[in-house]
Structure 1
Amino acid sequence: MNFNDVNFDTYFKNYPNEKGYFGPYGGSYIPDELQAAMNEITESYFTICKSRKFINELRRIRKEFQGRPTPISHLERLSTKLGNVQLYAKREDLNHTGAHKLNHCMGEALLAKYMGKSKIIAETGAGQHGVALATAAAYFGLKCDIYMGAVDIKKQAPNVARMKILGANVISVTDGLQTLKEAVDAAFAAYAREYKDAIYCIGSCVGPHPFPMMVRDFQSIVGIEAREQFVEMTGELPDAVVACVGGGSNSMGMFSGFLNYPVDIYGVEPLGRGPKLGDHAASLTYGTEGIMHGFNSIMLKDENGEPAPVYSIASGLDYPSSGPEHAFLRDLGRVKYDVVDDEETIDAFYTLSRLEGIIPAIESSHAVAYAIKLAKKMGKGSILINLSGRGDKDMDYIIEKYGIRDVE
């Protein structure tokens, strides 16, 4: 299957199919007992979440609590520095809690409330999903358990503090590399024990069906807003849209608004220290098809075919696979996936901070870094970056490891 085989006018009606597949990717590979819980979530999503009452309540929450719509900022000084290409940023860092994550967390928690659940369970890497879910739990009066790798807990201390202040129970995961993959393992195990009273709120477009679809749909507000805002600002569509890709929630949210429009779309993966296995987390660039955490996608594997150790300076991107829809869009050729390394990312972090007064999350800095490279290649036109989160959580870590850098 290629780009010409898919009608993007009806794309969201056809993908995923009723079994949760985007082409060969996706599905649900979990024990029968847990599958029953997933079926309950799927049925609830297609009934409750399509109801007028649910939609109106979510719209009210987005406007009155989250502060949506988030704006688009013209990065004028950065654009001038680079030449003729005009760069813009969709400011998800201005969404309540400082990242895009609250978009799907409020939706998932509202669904849990409608389903009569008393607890929400989740994993987190950079901590933004954990903070967002802890916020949603506090808003709706739900219990909240957040599983987080011990390494990430140390790197993301400010977000850990926020989760605890909001009333969440932060559970340190000390297995394996003690990062995002192990946190997902632990959260799934907990959900298998508690599914009757709890709902697992996955933090990205990964996991068994219906989560890749649900998270995409809740995040699609980003792309819908961005397209309408950009046309209102400039009178035309951007030439290119850029977003970072780990599991893929911020990027699928942004891409959803542009898939059926004549816009080039770029997903940016973390090359980390380099292309050697274990030094990066660029699964779509270097991985092969495989099943983990209940879904089939493209993943990085070790010599035994198991999920390989991965690394990224961004805790929210250090995952050995990516969402099944990203794998599908890669195969179709509709989205181009590429990489930037740690050094490029840190340079972009400081460049945006110094030239525009915006301190981006390390995750988002990957997209900024790629947009800078892309602008130099394009020579003219416009690029819209999804600035998925703010960098408050990363400042101490970056200063400790890299110091304060000057910008040329």
Structure 2
Amino acid sequence: MNFDTYFRNYPDKNGYFGKYGGMYVDDKLKEVMSEITEAYYSICQSRKFIAELRRIRKEFQGRPTPISHLERLSESLGGKVQLYAKREDLNHTGAHKLNHCMGEALLAKYMGKKKVIAETGAGQHGVALATAAAYFGLECDIYMGSVDIKKQAPNVARMKILGANVVEVTHGLQTLKEAVDAAFEAYVKEYDNAIYCIGSVVGPHPFPMMVRDFQSVVGIEAREQFLDMTGHLPDSIVACVGGGSNAAGFFAGFLNDPVDIYGIEPLGRGASLGNHAASLKYGTEGVMHGFNSIMLKNENGEPAPVYSVASGLDYPSSGPEHAFLQEIGRVKYDVIDDEETIDAFYKLARLEGIIPAIESSHAVAFGMKLAKTMDQGSVLINLSGRGDKDMDYVIEKYGIR
């Protein structure tokens, strides 16, 4: 495939990446999604919108985020392969999520909406959207499962301080899928005055495209920075994948380069259903939350219960673009379990002075594992967020190592 024209062709006008994606919603919501699509295509081509978003990224978010050479971690693995990290943990609010939240909130403002609605798992999307809502003077409702509220108390506090209304979701497994369900139900009742700001490259068209486009700043920056820093491209790049927003944006900068690309899913406690959230590895084609992709199903063909030590990765499907990139062989998707993740969490903290999000620690763990298989070269890891939100949970469950 010629990736020079990839972003012009994918998704197509109906929101499909190959057979994945689309808009599987009722007729009324199709009208709403079409309105958002039309607004995105027109507004986001305007000089004024682009200039305003660039100003926000520079003056408010603190972009570009740097790349750090993980020299001591590389040395601990033998020093033949050099590890680097794209530091999205240094983006304002501590993760990549603000990249698309500021874009979505700015779009809402241009469309005349008064409220933003979203779901959150790890809380980083919730914090980012609450931040964007405060910046633009919008109301903000964040839906979050009871389990994740307990695990991510610092982020819940941040959302409330920023003025968001945090709505606890108490049905089902009380995690990310249920939060998405509840947020969609609320949006159906409020779409005239609100916009649903999906937290990943999932959902009906145009959200997988729109979130990827807003997140592509990560990959575009990283490619330019790595070339400037080393004089060449990395041999491999790695990012964690739940829904897959950080990975989609990161990968976008390198799709047409001779670079190996790896997306890392959570294997959790093991390969049996209910103990992981590795949909691309173990799932099959299916529709949920308004889009067709690869999903984990129970015996009735419904979304299966999933688990991950990382609240931001416990989702039973993955973005349609990731399913497509796996199908055409451009990106390799692999898994990392909880124990490897926590080991990487502590190693990065102890050797580099960086406390990563548990989500990002999956990518760090795979980057370390990958480096051990290489004779030479470099691996660039997308450090999608910082671990402040996870420290209490990790200490309580795993202790200090």
CA–CA separation in structure 1 for the residues paired with 2:273 and 2:118: 28
CA–CA separation in structure 1 for the residues paired with 2:346 and 2:105: 35
Kindly report which structure 2 residues correspond to 1:26-175, keeping only aligned pairs within 5 A, or say none: 26-83=21-78, 84-175=80-171
Please state if 1:9 is matched with 2:4.
Answer: yes
Please state if 1:404 is matched with 2:400.
Answer: yes
- The share of aligned pairs that are identical, in percent, is 83
What corresponds to 1:296 in structure 2? 292
Structure 2 residue matching 1:9: 3-state secondary structure: helix
Aligned-residue offset at 1:173: 0.2
Structure 2 residue matching 1:184: 3-state secondary structure: helix
CA–CA separation in structure 2 for the residues paired with 1:141 and 1:9: 39
CA–CA separation in structure 1 for the residues paired with 2:45 and 2:374: 41
CA–CA separation in structure 1 for the residues paired with 2:324 and 2:48: 33
Kindly report which structure 2 residues correspond to 1:2-401, keeping only aligned pairs within 5 A, or say none: 6-83=1-78, 84-401=80-397
CA–CA separation in structure 1 for the residues paired with 2:290 and 2:178: 14
| TM-score, with length taken from structure 2 | 1.00
CA–CA separation in structure 2 for the residues paired with 1:284 and 1:43: 31
The amino acid that maps onto 2:258 is P
Q: Structure 1, residues 203-243: CA drift from partner, whole Å, max 9, x if none?
A: 00000000000000000000000000000000000000000
Q: Structure 1, residues 279-318: CA drift from partner, whole Å, max 9, x if none?
A: 0000000000000000000000000000000000000000
Structure 2 residue matching 1:10: 3-state secondary structure: helix
The amino acid that maps onto 1:141 is G
Structure 2 residue matching 1:17: 3-state secondary structure: coil
Query: How many residue pairs align between the two structures?
Result: 400
CA–CA separation in structure 2 for the residues paired with 1:380 and 1:267: 21
What corresponds to 1:3 in structure 2? none
The amino acid that maps onto 1:60 is R
Aligned-residue offset at 1:7: 1.5
Q: Structure 1, residues 108-157: CA drift from partner, whole Å, max 9, x if none?
A: 00000000000000000000000000000000000000000000000000
The amino acid that maps onto 2:319 is G
Unaligned stretches of 5+ residues in structure 2: none
Q: Structure 1, residues 12-53: CA drift from partner, whole Å, max 9, x if none?
A: 000000000000000000011111110100000000011000
Give the alignment's Cα RMSD to 1 decimal.
0.3
Unaligned stretches of 5+ residues in structure 1: 1-5
Aligned-residue offset at 1:379: 2.3
Give the 4+ runs in structure 1 shifted more than 2 A: none
The amino acid that maps onto 2:43 is I
CA–CA separation in structure 2 for the residues paired with 1:393 and 1:200: 24
The amino acid that maps onto 1:278 is G
CA–CA separation in structure 2 for the residues paired with 1:103 and 1:207: 18
The amino acid that maps onto 1:215 is V
CA–CA separation in structure 2 for the residues paired with 1:174 and 1:30: 24
